[in-house]
A and B are shown apart, each in its own frame.
Chain A
């Protein structure tokens, strides 16, 4: 699910950047460092705007300036039960690996409808019901998230396509 969240971040700036373009530089730094980041709990999709840059404080001993920046960002936190669209990255006899944006989702064989079978002899290998449904690398899938496990810098999730309107 997507949220608009207000967060703060401390950026320390080297003295060589002190000058008229400091603000632009801070924005660029913020965007570079935050967008696409995974906190382990959610993904930062996009930095919307800065609420407050705050006053820079020059640190003793190094001369760096520290800015405490408040900003708003669109984040995505995947939840159990959420339905997402994903693209298949690889298919294995044990299941299907997919990517829903930044989130890697695995669909185990048990969570694939039983009429869709593993077919290793084709190139590339695929899951198919020998009719019009073929799941191979690059296929788009709609899946439901069964479980989410936050990690240090990534989130792993388990999905299923064994329900109505999924697949």
Chain B
């Protein structure tokens, strides 16, 4: 290796003599050469005074490594100003493989350090690359070599690597002793389903969990799946369970160790308890690796990942090994498509119960969904914190204890039985339910109808085929080129031409396939994600984005799908006005993502309430509206309406939608009343005003609607304000611009309302009127600061208002604002 001078010397230094010649052997800490350096020191001058003088000191430079000198890079008399390579030394051992602090090749202690040590020898081999041992580390060079060998071997046998997760991906495990009892009990309704549940006992599982029985349900078709896939892939296990757990599972799913061998990585060796890292197994190159896992976040949405839908056999158990992972963002609440309000109540009760008897750390009860990105970061970063670790360990122990003691399954079955009796009479109410709701399993809780593995196999085969097609193509191409270059010289034999440079990258191929499926989809969520969560970074969004799906926050002409968690949200209503927008359930998106197909939307369409469908806009004005909408959206000021406004409105829409479907406060009658009123309102417009003004109506109506929802929310206003406050921080001036615009629109409405005077008789006295200063947007305060300049702010370019109207508007706003500002001030003071 080349020996380099450390930066700590007193530069410049002058080499005065070389002590060793090429061919000499040198030991560590043996002098290599003499040099002199110059520095200022304080000396006494013999009279008691201290003076600073320049002095030159001769010093030896000592070698930091053993070996034989090959070549000097400096000569006698050289003046060296900065760290440079000085000598090449041939080491007998480069310590490339180290085991527990020892060089595995020469047996030297790598952790030794002396005054002369700059870089510990142990840093020369920083990479762990064996599955089941953390003490063995290798250098990058060695890792690359081993990996290259592995790749050649895989290419020769035309296989890829597949990293398999255990919990909820290919198996589902629980420690609930109820399972054992049900298994024994032939009369139990669940007996049939539990017939092939396997079990094992872990003895050394830490204090408090002695001899706990684990019940393992294999995902349907697992055996066949593994066998088929093993022909195309070399299988690795990567689990967050303990080593003993992983070994036991491997004994069950692969008793002969034909499939996995000893390629098992558990959390004991993972190095991180919160995230999985592909570099841990494939430190150099992940071109030929595919991952299957039910959680995308732990892999940070690695492009090699195929996310599978979680296997949830023991309902409500979740993943028993996920205490350490960041909490799962749950979209499960929306899986149950369109539950009736009665059922919602029931479910809510159940949730409460669940949270009560089950530890929150693992049980990702559907209620606890709001995990902010920050919180996640904290959890991720906290992985190394021993105290946190201890807490998490305790949490897991507790969870297991809870499961053992509280038997969530038993509770559920009890609930179910009780429900059964009730449900006999009201059969129809719960038949709307979809697969994941336990309500559906009338007589037994556990059902086994999972098809995921069959589909998964297809997808894996697809990736495999595509990969090797690409590889073959590249190889024949390259071979042809080389043959031409060699001009008839001997063609390299078939076996040797495994050219690693030609290996295509799974990271390119998989997204390509995925994009083919859903690449042109632009979708908007409505009522899917919890209020206030970031629509772009939610789990489902990230997952969808890996397919090239564009997530928009606002419906416009480019939108292709509206994914609705409920019907009757404001966005659903808005989407009905766009003929090309398909309103589908969340299940459509999930199924499409899982199956890698653009599924037919027909079975997933959300039944749109007839009241919502007949949007109170005449078709002509609607078209005009759309036209201008688009043009204004594409140019000039309108563009920040479509983009920025969207960021804020979903929350408002959602809050509105929430109120509309929730049992309290805003039932269908009232809604119908609102629509009637709107119709009336519009109808009068259509008679008296031109199309352009109808457009004004159209845009203002949205804001009005929004306002109404907001107003009717009553208690929710505070929350909204808080949110808006946050957004202000984040978005700064853009937000205020937006607010300005929305303010303008609402004032525009006021204007029109005064002109026509027909909307004055609103029947809903409980809903605050949008025209009154009382229901100014809470954030009007922020907008108020800009009121002064805003007077001259132009209206939407599509609007062709005359000068007079503008002046009137300005005057109106001015006065209006003053009163609003007064109120704000009063509110603040009192």
Contact = CB atoms under 8 A, between A and B. Distances in A.
Contact of B149 (A80, A93, A149): A93
A108 B97 contact: yes
B97 A124 contact: no
B163 interface: no
Interface in A136-164: 137, 145-149, 151, 154, 156-158
Contact of B109 (A94, A111, A147): A147
A151 B100 contact: yes
Interface residues of A, number: 31
Contacts of B256: 123
Given A94-B146, A123-B261, A157 B153 contact: no
Interface centre among A110, A123, A125, A147 (most CB of B within 10 A): A147
B89 to A, nearest CB: 20
A43 interface: no
Contacts of A114: none
Interface string B425-458: 0000000000000000000000000000000000
Contacts of A95: 97, 99, 104, 136
A83 interface: no
A76 interface: no
Given A94-B136, A111-B105, A124-B261, A158 B99 contact: yes
A137 B262 CA distance: 10
Given A106-B104, A108-B104, A94 B153 contact: no
B130 A92 contact: yes
A12 interface: no
A95 B106 CA distance: 14
A90 B138 contact: no
Contacts of A111: 104-105
A107 B103 CA distance: 10
Contacts, number: 83
A97 B132 CA distance: 11
Contacts of B662: none
Nearest to B154: A120
A121 B101 contact: no
A156 B135 contact: yes
A146 B99 contact: no
A158 B130 contact: no
B763 interface: no
Nearest to A160: B107
B130 A94 contact: yes
Contact of B101 (A92, A118, A124, A151): A151
Contacts of A146: 106-107
Contacts of B157: 121
B100 A156 contact: yes
A101 to B, nearest CB: 16
A42 interface: no
A94 B138 contact: yes
Contacts of A94: 97, 104, 129-130, 136, 138, 142, 146
B570 to A, nearest CB: 60
A95 B150 CA distance: 14
B153 A120 contact: yes
B108 interface: yes
B605 to A, nearest CB: 51
Interface string B410-435: 00000000000000000000000000
A149 B387 CA distance: 29
A97 B109 contact: no
Interface in B27-62: none
Interface string B134-165: 01101000100010011001000100000000
A110 B98 CA distance: 12
B268 to A, nearest CB: 15
Contacts of B130: 92, 94
B2 to A, nearest CB: 22
B669 to A, nearest CB: 71
Contacts of A137: 262
Interface centre among B103, B104, B149, B257 (most CB of A within 10 A): B104
Given A149-B102, A156-B135, A93 B107 contact: no
A158 B102 contact: yes
Nearest to A120: B153
Interface string A67-93: 000000000000010000000001011
A121 B100 contact: no
Nearest to A92: B130
A93 B101 contact: no
Interface string A94-124: 1101000000101111110000001011011
Contacts of B129: 94
Given A94-B142, A108-B97, A109-B97, A124 B262 contact: yes
A40 to B, nearest CB: 12
A90 B102 CA distance: 19
Given A94-B146, A97-B133, A156 B153 contact: no
Nearest to B110: A149
A106 B261 contact: no
Contacts of B100: 104, 106, 149, 151, 154, 156
B258 interface: yes
A158 B97 CA distance: 11
A108 B100 CA distance: 13
A124 B150 contact: no
A93 B150 contact: yes
B101 to A, nearest CB: 5
Nearest to A123: B258
A111 B103 CA distance: 12
Contacts of B257: 123-124
Interface in B100-125: 100-109, 111
A156 B99 contact: yes
Contact of B107 (A90, A124, A158): A158
Contacts of B107: 80, 145-147, 158
A149 B150 CA distance: 30
A15 to B, nearest CB: 25
Contact of B261 (A110, A125, A147, A154): A125
A90 B108 CA distance: 23
Contacts of B262: 90, 124, 137
Contact of B104 (A123, A125, A148, A158): A158
A154 B484 CA distance: 60
Contacts of A158: 99, 102-105, 107
A24 to B, nearest CB: 27
A98 B287 CA distance: 32
Contacts of B153: 120-121
Contacts of A90: 132-133, 262
Contact of B136 (A106, A110, A124, A125): A106
A145 B100 CA distance: 14
B458 to A, nearest CB: 27
A19 B490 CA distance: 91
Nearest to A146: B107
Contacts of A108: 97, 99, 104-105
Interface centre among B107, B132, B142, B157 (most CB of A within 10 A): B107
Interface string B223-260: 00000000000000000000000000000000011100
A118 B146 CA distance: 11
Interface string B254-289: 001110011000000000000000000000000000
Interface of A: 80, 90, 92-95, 97, 104, 106-111, 118, 120-121, 123-125, 137, 145-149, 151, 154, 156-158
21 contacts: A80-B107, A92-B130, A93-B149, A94-B138, A94-B142, A106-B100, A111-B105, A120-B153, A123-B257, A123-B258, A124-B257, A124-B261, A146-B107, A147-B108, A148-B102, A149-B111, A151-B101, A156-B99, A156-B100, A158-B102, A158-B105
Given A124-B257, A156-B99, A158-B107, 4 more contacts: A94-B104, A118-B149, A149-B102, A151-B101
Which A-B residue pairs are the 6 nearest by beta carbons?
Answer: A147-B107, A156-B100, A146-B107, A108-B104, A106-B99, A158-B107
Interface of B: 97, 99-109, 111, 129-130, 132-133, 135-136, 138, 142, 146, 149-150, 153, 157, 256-258, 261-262
